[in-house]
């Protein structure tokens, strides 16, 4: 509609996911608010730029959609490009393998308005779309590693322990720009060989420290594909190790005093194994026991932190029994 300035943008950052991306875009174009009230930005930084342009051309007739081929790789960079180019008061991020509920944007805008101008971030519920049956070893506490978020209750100011997933998080655009954007030394680059993360966490911490309000809005929901390759023990082991790397990179000094405790916890894990498994094999031992597998992931996380710290603070006289 001529003369109407959109208030909010949807940003979908993608890398060579043309098998799932159309469903994400379809859900973005099918929002309950009228199309002239929002923009859609698809930022494609796939390695094959010509293929990306050809794919984007199919959406040339969607008047509120802009398809951007971004040649600099990295999820953080793509998000920063979206924030710089959207030109709207708010920006809502979703993954290329997510499907937004029809009232997603409506709920996001309502939440920003209801909780006032100090509200800088709104995060919503993320429900799983299981690409394969849930395995028996998948502990409930591990679900969040799959970007599945459900803190329950009603819309409210988020507590310090309630974090948001990047596949369903919205900002006042100014808050992103004023606080330096998403850190490009964190976040995913390429097709997933690296699972580096925490770019959202770091930005949220900066905004919160400056007095910004974070609100959890469960009705602003999306569904997120849990692909079969993420329902493998090997993926969770990799995810645990990369989470340790991400956490350490954010604040190396914070881990200096924790290394001795992490070392003790690793030893407890190894001492719980059968004697013939008390080698590096123990870090990759398959089990269907969800509690034991969760313990194994904790040992992998702790051991990665210990390695990142160069074994400083480790008591080498403490050995596996």
The answer to whether the CB of 223 falls within 8 A of the CB of 125 is no
Q: Identify whether residues 204 and 59 lie together within a single domain.
A: yes
Q: Identify whether residues 173 and 260 lie together within a single domain.
A: no
Q: Strands 8-14 and 213-226, how do they pair?
A: unpaired
pTM: 0.88
pLDDT of the residue at 182:
83
pLDDT digits (tens, 9 = 90+) for 179-238: 888 876 655 454 555 555 556 777 888 888 889 999 999 999 999 999 999 999 999 999
pLDDT digits (tens, 9 = 90+) for 147-190: 899 999 999 999 988 889 889 999 999 999 998 888 766 554 54
Q: Identify whether residues 150 and 271 lie together within a single domain.
A: no
Q: How many domains is the chain partitioned into structurally?
A: 2
Q: Does position 125 have pLDDT exceeding 70, yes or no?
A: yes
Q: Identify whether residues 219 and 275 lie together within a single domain.
A: no
| Measured distance CA(148)–CA(241) in Å, rounded | 19
pLDDT of the residue at 253:
82
Which of the 8 DSSP states describes residue 200? Answer: H
- Indicate the average pLDDT of the chain: 89
In a domain, 129, yes or no: yes
Q: Identify whether residues 124 and 197 lie together within a single domain.
A: yes
Number of neighbouring beta carbons within 10 Å of residue 234: 10
The pair of three-digit structure tokens given for residue 103, joined into one six-digit string: 């009232």
The answer to whether the CB of 293 falls within 8 A of the CB of 251 is no
In a domain, 47, yes or no: yes
| Measured distance CA(27)–CA(104) in Å, rounded | 10
In a domain, 195, yes or no: yes
List the beta bridge partners of residue 224.
Answer: 98, 128
Percent of the chain with pLDDT over 70: 92
pLDDT digits (tens, 9 = 90+) for 294-311: 999 999 999 998 988 888
| Measured distance CA(254)–CA(270) in Å, rounded | 25
In a domain, 240, yes or no: no
The answer to whether the CB of 227 falls within 8 A of the CB of 97 is yes
Q: Identify whether residues 208 and 251 lie together within a single domain.
A: no
End of a domain among 184, 203, 230?
230
To 5 degrees, how large is the angle CA 193–CA 195–CA 200? 145
End of a domain among 230, 263, 295?
230
pLDDT digits (tens, 9 = 90+) for 3-40: 568 999 999 999 999 999 999 999 999 999 999 999 99
In a domain, 313, yes or no: no
The pair of three-digit structure tokens given for residue 319, joined into one six-digit string: 């050995």
pLDDT of the residue at 116:
95
Q: Identify whether residues 127 and 202 lie together within a single domain.
A: yes
Which of the 8 DSSP states describes residue 128? Answer: E
The answer to whether the CB of 72 falls within 8 A of the CB of 31 is no
Radius of gyration of the chain (CA): 21
Nearest to 165 by CA among 217, 112, 125: 125
The answer to whether the CB of 231 falls within 8 A of the CB of 138 is yes
Strands (E), 161-305: 169-172, 213-226
Q: Which CATH number characterizes residue 133's domain?
A: 3.90.550.10
What region, left, alpha or beta, does residue 310 occupy, with left being phi > 0 and alpha being psi -120 to 50 degrees? left
The pair of three-digit structure tokens given for residue 265, joined into one six-digit string: 């916890």
Q: Identify whether residues 29 and 133 lie together within a single domain.
A: yes
Q: Identify whether residues 35 and 69 lie together within a single domain.
A: yes
Quick one: average pLDDT of 71-91? 90
Q: Identify whether residues 82 and 163 lie together within a single domain.
A: yes
Q: Identify whether residues 256 and 171 lie together within a single domain.
A: no
3-state secondary structure of 14: strand
In a domain, 316, yes or no: no
> What is the separation of C-alpha 307 from the centre of its chain, rounded to a whole number of angstroms?
25
| Measured distance CA(149)–CA(100) in Å, rounded | 14
Nearest to 259 by CA among 294, 296, 302: 302
Residue 253 belongs to domain spanning:
247-308
Q: 230 Cβ partners below 8 Å, 6+ apart? A: 131, 146
In a domain, 93, yes or no: yes
What b/e sequence results for 36-64 when a residue is b if at least 16 CB atoms lie within 10 Å of its CB, and e otherwise? ebbbbbbbbbbeeeeebeebbeeeeeeeb
End of a domain among 203, 230, 257?
230
Residues in the chain: 321
Which of the 8 DSSP states describes residue 321? Answer: -
The answer to whether the CB of 70 falls within 8 A of the CB of 11 is no
Q: Identify whether residues 206 and 62 lie together within a single domain.
A: yes
In a domain, 212, yes or no: yes
């Amino acid at each position: 509609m001529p003369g109407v300035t959109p208030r909010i943008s949807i940003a979908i950052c993608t890398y060579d996911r043309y098998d799932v991306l159309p469903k994400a875009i379809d859900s973005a174009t099918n929002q309950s608010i009228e199309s002239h009230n929002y923009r859609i930005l698809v930022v494609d930084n796939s390695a094959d730029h010509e293929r990306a342009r050809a794919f984007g051309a199919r959406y040339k007739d969607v008047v509120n959609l802009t398809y951007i081929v971004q040649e600099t790789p990295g999820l953080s960079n793509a998000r920063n490009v979206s924030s710089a180019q959207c030109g709207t008061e708010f920006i809502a991020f979703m993954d290329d393998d997510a499907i937004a509920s029809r009232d997603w944007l409506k709920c996001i805008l309502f939440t920003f308005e209801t909780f006032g101008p100090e509200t800088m971030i709104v995060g919503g519920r993320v429900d799983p779309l299981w690409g394969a049956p849930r395995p028996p070893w998948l502990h409930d506490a591990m679900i969040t590693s799959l970007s599945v978020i459900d803190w329950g209750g009603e819309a409210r100011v988020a507590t310090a322990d309630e974090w948001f997933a990047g596949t369903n998080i919205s900002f006042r655009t100014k808050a992103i720009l004023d606080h330096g954007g998403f850190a490009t030394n964190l976040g995913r680059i390429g097709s997933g060989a690296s699972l580096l993360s925490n770019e959202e966490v770091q930005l949220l911490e900066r905004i919160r420290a400056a007095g910004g309000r974070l609100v959890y809005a469960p009705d602003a929901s999306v569904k997120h594909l849990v692909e079969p390759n993420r329902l493998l023990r090997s993926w969770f082991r990799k995810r645990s190790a990369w989470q340790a790397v991400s956490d350490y990179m954010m604040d190396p000094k914070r881990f200096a005093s924790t290394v001795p405790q992490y070392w003790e916890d690793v030893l407890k894990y190894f001492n719980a194994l059968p004697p013939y498994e008390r080698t590096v094999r123990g870090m990759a031992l398959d089990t269907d026991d969800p509690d034991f597998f969760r313990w194994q992931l904790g040992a992998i996380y702790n051991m990665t932190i210990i390695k990142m710290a160069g074994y400083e603070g480790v008591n080498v006289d403490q050995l596996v029994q």
